[in-house]
Amino acid sequence: MSDFDLSLGGTIVLPDRVIENGHVAVRDGKVVHVGEGAAPAARERHDLGRALVLPGAIDAQVHSLSQKDQEDFVWSTRSAAAGGVTTIVDMPYDEGNLVASAEAVRRKVAHAEPQARVDFALYGTIVPEEGATRIAEQVEAGVAAFKFSTFGTDPVRFPRIPPALLEECFAAIAQTGLTAGVHNEDDEAVRAAMAKVRASGISDYRAHALSRPPLTELLASLQIYETGAATGCPAHVVHCSLSRGYDIARSYRDQGFNATIECCIHYLTLDEEHDVARLGGKAKINPPVRSRAEVEKLWDHVRRGNVTMVSTDHVSWSENRKTDPDMLANASGVPGLEVMLPLFVKGALARDIPLSWAARLMAENPARHFRLGRKGALSIGKDADIAVLFARPQRYDAAASGHNVVGWSPYNGIELPWTVGLTYLRGQQVFDGTHVAGPGTGRFVRPGELA
């Protein structure tokens, strides 16, 4: 009998290289061998030909519970499994349960674990009136990072954290080894720009980008990194739509500061002049989707190593909250879990960017960032979280796939040359190309020291 439970042969995509004719072998849910040549004998063995075998993606930014009675973990993790995403990091801004205490963390874990089809980690945050008093207890409860916002989307569910309080929180987090992630839009500047747009009478697709011009984003990013520099806290911009933002982050790293930055897949895929003009509210995202020229500049930052990680900022708003003719009246955010990995592969191959960046930006780097030491790599001793993409061209249709709680997507109609056909979580198949594993397969994962 074979020593291996599972072996997969194909094109093995690692953070530092691609093995054209390689294999991965698994035992007891862990990777135990990666090498060249045909896949070895195993209880379950697949020779996948030219298929791309990657570490399961870690989506660093998911909102499963932003709309009450809408998506929930039963659907977000279904989309994740179908998209080769084996761990999601869920945001704390849940409608009816802001995750800002140890009790709120425990409540969310108890709620999510029976539903989850893939593993999940959690962000924590604060209630502004409580200050930083509950940061330590949330670390003890197992959050993997903290999230704040320089813009107030909602005074209760998604509050603005003013500069002095942000500094207080960063100073507290600096003692824990975790990272402070921040939504990067300057509140005062955005509100002034929004008032100017409304006074102009512009309400179509153009209104959103006009209401959040580049300076509103860049000012906030500078505040975030300077606060990190002043407190010694790792500072993370959770989404950046502008090339200039990546230049700023790189400059802080060059000065020796821990300054990381995240690019969402929509900023690498959609543009304002074609996609936002066509989709209206269904492409409304904060910060806004920018021009095609900006998209290409962001891909250049990927190529140059200036992007820390790629995520979705996934949220599945019901269609009625994304179709108001008044652009500014729509909810902000889009679903993307099912297509992040195929979209990145498509974009990278079209620009001759090595696929090793897929393994780095959507697995290795997020695992390091959130201190999920068992995750993020096809290397010995790590969890055997694996995504397999086949060269099976498909025109994406969120409703037809059956793995999304909503039937719309800004990516509908995009031709995907590579699509996810198999997903493994800790060596167990959770997606076979059609069907997803049942609820309860996933687990809550806590941060720890990197292995």
Question: Would 1 be classed as within a structural domain?
Answer: no
Confidence of residue 2 (pLDDT cuts 50, 70, 90): confident
The pLDDT of residue 324 is above 50: yes
Q: Is 155 found in the same domain as 42?
A: no
Same domain, 45 and 76: no
pLDDT tens sequence across 37-65: 999 999 999 999 999 999 999 999 999 99
306 and 341 part of one domain: yes
Percent of residues, the chain, with pLDDT higher than 90: 97
Predicted structure pTM score: 0.97
Check: CB of residue 97 under 8 Å from CB of residue 108: yes
Q: Residue 320 falls within a domain, yes or no?
A: yes
Domain for residue 252, yes or no? yes
pLDDT tens figures, 101-149: 999 999 999 999 999 999 999 999 999 999 999 999 999 999 999 999 9
pLDDT digits (tens, 9 = 90+) for 142-172: 999 999 999 998 888 899 999 999 999 999 9
- Beta-bridge partner residues of 425: 428
20 and 124 fall within a common domain = no
**Is the CA virtual torsion 181, 84, 420, 418 positive or negative?**
positive
Q: What is the mean pLDDT of the chain?
A: 97
Q: Examine residue 335 and state whether it is found in any structural domain, yes or no.
A: yes
Which residues share a beta bridge with 122? 90
Domain membership of residue 198 (yes or no) is yes
The C-alpha atoms of residue 403 and residue 416 are separated, in whole angstroms, by: 17
> How much is the average pLDDT of 349-377?
98
Tell whether 143 and 88 lie within a shared domain.
yes
Are residue 281 and residue 338 in the same domain, yes or no? yes
Domain containing 106 equals 56-369
User: What's the average model confidence in pLDDT over 336-349?
Assistant: 98
Count of CB atoms situated within 10 Å of the CB of 119: 27
* Same domain? 354 vs 208: yes
Give the pLDDT confidence of 181-228 residue by residue, as tens digits: 999 999 999 999 999 999 999 999 999 999 999 999 999 999 999 999
pLDDT reported for residue 216: 98
User: Do 25 and 111 lie in a common domain?
Assistant: no
Same domain? For 228 and 286 the reply is yes
Please tell me whether residues 339 and 415 are part of one structural domain: no
Residue 39 shares a structural domain with residue 61 = no
**Is residue 374, in this structure, part of any structural domain at all?**
no
Number of domains in the chain: 2
Considering the domain boundaries, does residue 195 fall inside one? yes
310 and 213 share one domain: yes
Half-sphere exposure of 310 (CA within 13 A, CB side): 32
**Band (450; pLDDT cuts 50, 70, 90):** very low
For residue 7, what pLDDT is reported? 98
